[in-house]
Amino acid sequence: MALKINELYRAAVECAIDADPRGRAIVEKELENTKKNYNSLDENKKEYFDKDTIFNPYADTRVLNIAEDKDIKKIFCGIDMQTSELLLADRLNEKNENIDLVITHHPNGYGFVNFYDVIEMQAEKNALHNVPINVSEALTNKRLNEVSRSVYGANHYRDVETAKLLKLNYMCMHTVADNFVESFLTEKMKLEKPNTLSDIIDILYTIEEYKISAKRYNPPKIFNGSNKSKVGSIIVDMTGGASFDSAMIYALSKAGISTIIVMNISDRLLDECKKHYINVVCAGHMSSDSLGLNLLFKAIKEKTKEDFEIIPASGYIFVSK
């Protein structure tokens, strides 16, 4: 047997909850509250409720189109699988590639409409790093509202409608993959105990996705600090939907954080890190997203005992784990 689309979707969510940096207990409490909220609604309001949130706490991970509910044996996956990549999938199928499912890492369709809801997880994440929960919640809510306004007017369903017209199965898997890369690198840094920022770079170079990215002239880099800068107290920030509010940098500095490892960073946040003397190591965006996807696919296969082939595209560095 092979996985159906919704079976793969549910398995991805369950694996991501296991990898969530907040811990499963916090996530399950969140799901319990969502279910209570749904049950308390009037019937007319239930019609507009996103029922996936009852079992899936990640608003940026959704099945976007099921054209044919077939067994999933071959997946066409990339970081940004939009209209051009969907047309490529159709062309590949014309050449007998027999793609069963297209997966985009970055959210799309109704996985993009409310994707900013996952930013809420940053409040509990940063509280685990000794930022007072009231401060963390206030700054997280500020950032969530800012991002929600920025995406409100987007053409959310453009690519989903392309998938429907081409009769392609289509889904997005964002935070479910990002959880894996953050948890993996956090554990690796705890195990390796880097002393300097140069040590962090060396550790990243032991991971195949970062090696391949470096050969593509996009290596991990130090954005603030030097090779000899001491690491001190370190955090990996790679999940939670979007970057956090700039004021969170001061809060983390006050909580004793010395070094942040990120997949990318804006000039606005980098300036704050410089202002508060926080070292910044940028591991790389496509490489970190790829590592998260590869770890997620490995976890799904182990959980379901099912196998499937991956065709990588759109910046996705596929490495079999």
Which of 265, 284, 285 minimizes the C-alpha distance to 274? 265
- My answer on whether 157 and 298 are in the same domain is yes
Query: Which residue's structure tokens are 């976890």?
Result: 299
Give Cα 205 distance to the centre of its chain: 21
Residue 100's pLDDT is what?
98
| 50 assigned to some structural domain | no
**pLDDT digit string (tens) for 274-305?**
999 999 999 999 999 999 999 999 999 999 99
| 186 assigned to some structural domain | yes
Cα separation values, 209 from 119, 200, 244, Å: 26, 15, 25
- My answer on whether 17 and 129 are in the same domain is yes
Task: Give the angle 183-188-190 at the CA atoms, nearest 5°.
Answer: 95
- My answer on whether 241 and 298 are in the same domain is no
Q: Report helix angle 133-151 to 247-254, nearest 10.
A: 160
How many domains does the chain divide into? 2
- My answer on whether 277 and 148 are in the same domain is no
| 35 assigned to some structural domain | no
| 294 assigned to some structural domain | yes
Average pLDDT over residues 214-231: 98
Confidence of residue 230 (pLDDT cuts 50, 70, 90): very high
Confidence of residue 2 (pLDDT cuts 50, 70, 90): confident
- My answer on whether 165 and 186 are in the same domain is no
| 68 assigned to some structural domain | yes
**pLDDT digit string (tens) for 310-320?**
999 999 999 99
| 32 assigned to some structural domain | no
Residue 13's pLDDT is what?
98
Task: Dig out the tokens for 309 from the structure.
Answer: 């082939």
Q: Choose between 321 and 25: higher pLDDT.
A: 25
**pLDDT digit string (tens) for 144-188?**
999 999 999 999 999 999 999 999 999 999 999 999 999 999 999
Residue 321's pLDDT is what?
85
Question: Per-residue pLDDT for 119 more than 80?
Answer: yes
Residue 217's pLDDT is what?
97
**pLDDT digit string (tens) for 12-52?**
999 999 999 999 999 999 999 999 999 999 999 999 999 99
Question: Per-residue pLDDT for 1 more than 80?
Answer: no
**174, 111 Cβ separation under 8 angstroms:** yes
- My answer on whether 258 and 294 are in the same domain is no
DSSP for 273-290 reads HHHTT-EEEE--HHHHHH
Backbone angles phi, psi at 62, to 5 degrees: -150, 150
**pLDDT digit string (tens) for 71-101?**
999 999 999 999 999 999 999 999 999 999 9
3-class state of residue 85 by DSSP:
helix
**89, 73 Cβ separation under 8 angstroms:** no
Residue 239's pLDDT is what?
96
- My answer on whether 102 and 165 are in the same domain is yes
Residues spanned by the domain of 209: 181-285
- My answer on whether 245 and 229 are in the same domain is yes
Residue 51's pLDDT is what?
96
- My answer on whether 208 and 243 are in the same domain is yes
- My answer on whether 133 and 202 are in the same domain is no
- My answer on whether 172 and 188 are in the same domain is no
Average pLDDT over residues 102-108: 98
CATH number for 240? 3.40.1390.30
3-class state of residue 172 by DSSP:
strand
| 63 assigned to some structural domain | yes
